[in-house]
């Protein structure tokens, strides 16, 4: 499959969650608290895309079998990252619109008194910065700083997890689910994946040469 076809395919697959929630909205099937349903749904999908994006490099570095490998996925990581931003922005906008009703006078009640929302402000600002600097031109212009900036994706993941953790009421399921995945995706990067080579014969290392943005 050519890269263009894959790109189009991944693009439309990534829009399925949006289509699903739009369909639920149009058929009036969001339940008693539609605002909450949409905010929760878009927030979950922002986190899923963040996890998928963070999984691209580990998948490629860890699974290096001839038939089963994920080298092809690396080319689509930027789009997956941009979909993380897309669903995070939908999450934020649906909170401001459907929950807050654009009444910014209520920020005091709805924002300041909800610390789990406050912790997401730096995460959203960073995500926007990563989105803006995701182009090839920006990569060149920022040079070494680009890598440094884009490593803040780890900070974003941790803040997103804290955001979930701080809302725990009666069940740890979400906090454990997202926490375990974030932890795993960070820990496997230990020592820039050099631990992986222990499991492969020497000659396969050549196929695994570092690319410029490999350290993310």
Q: Which residue has the tokens 């080579």?
A: 197
Contact 81, 130 (CB under 8 A): yes
Contact 82, 134 (CB under 8 A): yes
Cα gap 114→117, rounded to integer Å:
6
Contact 60, 70 (CB under 8 A): yes
Q: How many CA atoms lie within 13 A of 62 on its CB side?
A: 11
Q: In the stretch 78-117, what mask flags binding to other proteins with x, by CB under 8 A? A: -------------------xxxxx----x--xx--xxxx-
User: What are residue 69's DSSP bridge partners?
Assistant: 64
- The smaller minimum CB distance to other proteins, of residues 111 and 149, is found at 111
- The smaller minimum CB distance to other proteins, of residues 79 and 119, is found at 119
66 binds other proteins (CB under 8 A): no
Cα gap 29→22, rounded to integer Å:
10
Contact 17, 41 (CB under 8 A): yes
Q: By CB under 8 A, what part of segment 23-42 binds other proteins?
A: 25-26, 28, 30-36, 38
Tokens of 8: 């189009």
Among 2, 66, 105, 171, binds other proteins (CB under 8 A): 171
Tokens of 153: 């994706």
CB of 171 to other proteins, least distance (A): 4
CB of 184 to other proteins, least distance (A): 18
172 binds other proteins (CB under 8 A): yes
Among 8, 138, 176, 180, binds other proteins (CB under 8 A): 176
CB of 177 to other proteins, least distance (A): 9
Q: Which residue has the tokens 């998928």?
A: 52
CB of 163 to other proteins, least distance (A): 12
- The smaller minimum CB distance to other proteins, of residues 111 and 142, is found at 111
Q: Which residues bind other proteins (CB under 8 A)?
A: 25-26, 28, 30-36, 38, 97-101, 106, 109-110, 113-116, 166-173, 176
């Amino acid at each position: 499959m050519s890269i263009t076809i894959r790109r189009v395919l991944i693009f439309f697959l990534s829009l399925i969650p949006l289509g699903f929630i739009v369909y639920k909205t149009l058929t009036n099937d969001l339940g008693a608290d539609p605002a909450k349903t949409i905010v929760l749904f878009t927030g979950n999908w922002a986190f899923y895309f963040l996890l998928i994006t963070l999984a691209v490099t580990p998948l490629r570095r860890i699974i290096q079998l001839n038939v089963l490998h994920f080298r092809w996925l690396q080319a689509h990581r930027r789009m997956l990252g941009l979909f993380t931003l897309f669903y995070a922005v939908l999450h934020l906008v649906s909170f401001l619109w459907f929950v807050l009703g654009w009444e910014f006078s209520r920020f005091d009640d709805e924002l300041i008194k909800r610390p789990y929302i406050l912790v997401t402000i730096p995460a959203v600002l960073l995500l926007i910065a990563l989105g803006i600097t995701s182009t090839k031109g920006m990569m060149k212009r920022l040079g070494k700083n680009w890598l440094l900036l884009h490593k803040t994706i780890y900070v974003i993941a941790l803040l997103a997890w804290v955001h979930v953790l701080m809302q725990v009421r009666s069940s740890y399921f979400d906090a454990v689910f997202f926490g375990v995945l974030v932890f795993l995706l960070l820990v496997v990067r230990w020592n820039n994946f050099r631990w992986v080579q222990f499991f492969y014969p020497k000659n396969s290392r050549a196929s695994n040469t570092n690319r410029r943005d490999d350290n993310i």
